[in-house]
Amino acid sequence: MIDEFWETKKSKIYPWVKEELKKNKKEADFVIVSSASPLFLIENFLLSQGFDVIFGTKFVGDNQKKFVAQINGKNNKGDEKVKKLNRWAKQNNYEIEIVKFYSDSLADKPLYDIAKQKFWIKRGKILEGMPKRKTLIDKLFWN
């Protein structure tokens, strides 16, 4: 079902994403996605698109025949994204430097704060920097 879902969504990916990914892969050792989305929904698809490492929210029963709609651990959002990235780097003996960071949510401010270059995605377009105010979605769903 997940593969079928992505097959229907593939055409809606912003046209600039593939080119940006190619550039980023030349400039960095890893191109990492860190999302609050359920890991089981995004991991295989994003790896197939060329991203190197995927972080997401884990659920009880991930990769099992029976899914349990309960988060296993913490939701991968806000400060948790930085903690997860740091744990991964330590486990793999890497030093982390975020060369470029892209997001459409101020919930990602902890990652914006440590990135060298920051990009805001607004209505499918890349804008340099980070927005000053919260969007309606940020106000409704994030602290």
Determine which helix (DSSP H) or strand (DSSP E) holds 82, and give its type and residue range: helix 79-91
What are the tens digits of pLDDT across the range 83-108? 999 999 999 999 999 999 999 988 89
Please check the confidence at residue 131 and state whether its pLDDT lies above 70: yes
Number of domains in the chain: 1
Backbone angles phi, psi at 132, to 5 degrees: -85, -30
Q: What is the pLDDT, as a whole number, of residue 126?
A: 93
Tell me, what CATH number does 110's domain have?
Answer: 3.40.50.1000
Q: What is the pLDDT, as a whole number, of residue 141?
A: 61
SS3 (DSSP) at 74: coil
Task: Write down the residue that tokens 């607004």 correspond to.
Answer: 122
Q: Is residue 141 part of a domain?
A: no
Helices 2-9, 39-49: axis angle to 10 degrees equals 50
Amino acid at 96: I
Q: Is residue 20 part of a domain?
A: yes
Burial class (CB in 10 A: 0-12, 13-18, 19+), 108: buried
How sure is the predictor about 138, in pLDDT bands with cuts at 50, 70 and 90?
low
Please check the confidence at residue 4 and state whether its pLDDT lies above 70: yes
Range of the domain at 9: 2-136
Q: Is residue 97 part of a domain?
A: yes
Q: Is residue 68 part of a domain?
A: yes
Q: Is residue 13 part of a domain?
A: yes
Q: What is the pLDDT, as a whole number, of residue 143?
A: 53
Q: Is residue 98 part of a domain?
A: yes
What are the tens digits of pLDDT across the range 26-43? 999 999 999 999 999 999
For the chain, give percent helix, strand, coil, nearest 5.
45, 20, 35
Q: Is residue 116 part of a domain?
A: yes
Q: What is the pLDDT, as a whole number, of residue 35?
A: 97
Q: Is residue 143 part of a domain?
A: no
